[in-house]
Amino acid sequence: SSPDSDGCTPELEKAGLLNKTKIAEGGRKLRKNWSPSWVVLVGNSLVFFKDPKSQTPSSWKPGNSRPESSVDLRGAKLHWANELSSKKNVFKLRTVTGNEFLLQSETDSLIREWYSTIQNVIDRLDRE
């Protein structure tokens, strides 16, 4: 049987390095502060970790590194947002609580994959 045959462990959908900045907290605008982030899409959440490349090898232990923050995707909205940045390939994620993030990659195919994978999770949650 599969390692998660009881269905209790949320499924890992995707993980990778993206540039991230939070632009609003509870509807209040924040000053941009772009930085690379290790982004993990698991279950109903998008979880942000420190860029593993900026850590010392010994500090990077998978099961044992704490997330910097995480986002509940239920009811979230996703929009391409190239008008919000001089960078290319930018999309905006807005949570029901009014937190807004921009996510960006220099690699077109990569950012498109992230966009559609996150949108699929949002759509699945909308149907529940």
**Least CB distance from residue 105 to ligand I3S, whole Å?**
13
> In this structure, what are the phi and psi dihedrals at residue 92, rounded to the nearest 5 degrees?
-110, 135
Name the residue nearer to ligand I3S (CB basis): 31 or 66: 31
Please list every residue from 87 through 126 that binds ligand I3S, using CB under 6 A.
Answer: 87
Name the residue nearer to ligand I3S (CB basis): 32 or 77: 32
Between CA 33 and CA 128 the distance in angstroms is 35
Please list every residue from 21 through 80 that binds ligand I3S, using CB under 6 A.
Answer: 31-32, 34
**Least CB distance from residue 6 to ligand I3S, whole Å?**
43
Name the residue nearer to ligand I3S (CB basis): 1 or 33: 33
14 contacts ligand I3S (rule: CB under 6 A):
no
The answer to whether the beta carbons of residues 111 and 85 sit under 8 Å apart is no
Burial of 105 (0-12, 13-18, 19+ CB in 10 A): buried
Q: How many residues bind to ligand I3S according to rule CB under 6 A?
A: 6
**Measured at the alpha carbon of residue 36, what is the angle toward residues 77 and 81, in degrees to the nearest 5?**
35
State whether the Cα torsion 92-103-113-108 is positive or negative: positive
Name the residue nearer to ligand I3S (CB basis): 22 or 87: 87
Contact footprint for ligand I3S (CB under 6 A): 31-32, 34, 85-87
